[in-house]
Amino acid sequence: MIEIAGLKKKFKLTKDHKKNKVDDIDPREDKDYFHSVRNVSFSCAKGEVLGLLGPNGAGKTTTLRMLSTALKPDEGSITIAGNDIVKKPLLGRKSIGFLSGSTGLYGRLTVKENIEYFAKLHGMSKKDIASRCEELFTMLDMHKFIDKRAENLSTGMKQKANIARAVVHHPDVVVLDEPTTGLDIMTTQTVINFIKGLKEQGTPVIFSTHHLDEVALLCDRVAVINEGVSCFDGTVDEFKKAGNSEELNQAFINILTEKQDV
Ligand SMILES: Nc1ncnc2c1ncn2[C@@H]1O[C@H](COP(=O)(O)OP(=O)(O)OP(=O)(O)O)[C@@H](O)[C@H]1O
C-alpha cells in the first residue's frame, strides 16, 4: 500500500523565465516561484493499478519524481507500509521501481549486462540476478535482443530494457511515467501485459498516461491532477460517476471542466 498526502513542490524561477514571461500568467506562478504541485493526494493498495491522469503540464511527472525520491517534496508525505519515504529516502529507493523518460542504460553494455549491473547495485546475489533476469526477459519478450548493445536498440527495445532495469530488484511499488508513449502496438501490448502481471503478483502499480483505453484495460483506480491540485481520486466506476459519463474520455473532460451535469 502506498499513500500520498498533501504533496507540494515549487521551483525557483530563473532570470530567463522571468524575462520571457508572457502576459497569460499561470495561476501557479508567483513572483519568484512556480508551484508545480500544490496539493496532491491519492493511494494505491496491494494488487491495484492506479492511472494518474491530467492535462499537459498538470504536475504528473513532478509528482512521480517525488515518489521516486528524485525530488524532495516541500510538504506532504509518501507512506509505504507505514514508512514515510520522504523521511527515509534510502528505503524509498529500495521500495520503489521507477521508470521515467530519462531512465537510462549504458550504451556500450549489452541489455543483459545493463540489467545485471543495476541488479548488482541493488545488492542482489548472482543466483537471484540470474533467475530475475530470466523472468523479466520472458515477461517483457526480450530474449531476441538481450545481447545487443544498448546504444543499438530501437525505441521499443530500449523501453522494455528500461522497465526491466526499473523493476529488477522486486520493488514493493512500481511507478511508471508514461510507459507506452512512443511505442508501437505490439510493444504497447507487451507493456500492458507486464503491468497486468505485476498486478497478479500483488504489486501496486502507479502509471501516468494520456491514453484512457489503457485505463479501461488496466486500472482499478484513477487519480486526476489539474494545475498541480488533485481533483479526483477513486475507483474507475466512481470516476465515471463523478464525470457523469460511461465513456472515460468524456468523464475526464467533465471532471476537469466541472461540467458534471452534461
Ligand atoms: N525544474 C522546473 N522549474 C520550473 N518549472 C518546472 C520545473 N519542472 C517542471 N516545471 C513545471 O511544472 C509544471 C508541471 O510539469 P510536469 O512535467 O510535472 O507536468 P506533466 O503533468 O507531467 O505534463 P505532461 O503531461 O506534459 O508530461 C509544468 O508547467 C512545468 O513547466
Is any ligand 1 atom within 6 A of the Cβ of residue 11? yes
Separation between Cα atoms, residue 124 and residue 135, nearest integer Å: 15
Is any ligand 1 atom within 6 A of the Cβ of residue 34? yes
Which is nearest to 216 in space by CA: 251, 166, 244? 251
Is any ligand 1 atom within 6 A of the Cβ of residue 226? no
Separation between Cα atoms, residue 97 and residue 64, nearest integer Å: 11
Nearest 10 degrees: CA dihedral of 13, 40, 75, 70?
-70
Read off the C-alpha cell for 228: 498541480
Is any ligand 1 atom within 6 A of the Cβ of residue 38? no
Separation between Cα atoms, residue 227 and residue 80, nearest integer Å: 26
Nearest CA to ligand 1 atom 3: 11
Tell me the pTM: 0.92
Nearest CA to ligand 1 atom 18: 59
User: Which neighbouring-strand residues pair with 50?
Assistant: 206, 221
What residue has cell string 553494455?
A: 109
Read off the C-alpha cell for 191: 507493456
Is any ligand 1 atom within 6 A of the Cβ of residue 59? yes
Q: Tens-digit pLDDT profile for the chain (262 aa)?
A: 899 999 999 999 887 766 666 656 778 888 889 999 999 999 999 999 999 999 999 999 999 999 999 999 999 999 998 899 999 999 988 999 999 887 789 999 999 999 999 999 999 999 999 999 999 999 999 999 999 999 999 999 999 999 999 999 999 999 999 999 999 999 999 999 999 999 999 999 999 999 999 999 999 999 999 999 999 999 999 999 999 999 999 999 999 997 544 4
Task: Give the HSE-up count for residue 60: Cα atoms under 13 Å, Cβ half-sphere.
Answer: 26
Q: Hey, which of 40, 61, 176, 207 would you mutate to test ligand 1's pocket, going by the most ligand atoms within 8 Å of its Cβ?
A: 61
Separation between Cα atoms, residue 215 and residue 218, nearest integer Å: 5
The Å distance, Cα 229 to ligand 1 centre, comes to 13
The Å distance, Cα 70 to ligand 1 centre, comes to 14
What residue has cell string 508501437?
A: 184
**146 within 8 A of 153, measured Cβ to Cβ:** no
The Å distance, Cα 36 to ligand 1 centre, comes to 6
**Domain segments of the chain as ranges:** 2-261
Q: Hey, which of 56, 62, 64 would you mutate to test ligand 1's pocket, going by the most ligand atoms within 8 Å of its Cβ?
A: 62
**240 within 8 A of 251, measured Cβ to Cβ:** yes
Is any ligand 1 atom within 6 A of the Cβ of residue 36? yes
ipTM over 0.85: yes
Q: What is the largest CA-CA distance in the chain?
A: 60
Helix, strand, coil percentages, rounded to 5, for the chain = 40, 25, 35
Separation between Cα atoms, residue 260 and residue 262, nearest integer Å: 6
Burial of 87 (0-12, 13-18, 19+ CB in 10 A): exposed
Tell which CATH classification among 3.40.50.1100, 3.30.1330.100, 3.40.50.300, 2.60.40.1150 matches the domain 2-261: 3.40.50.300
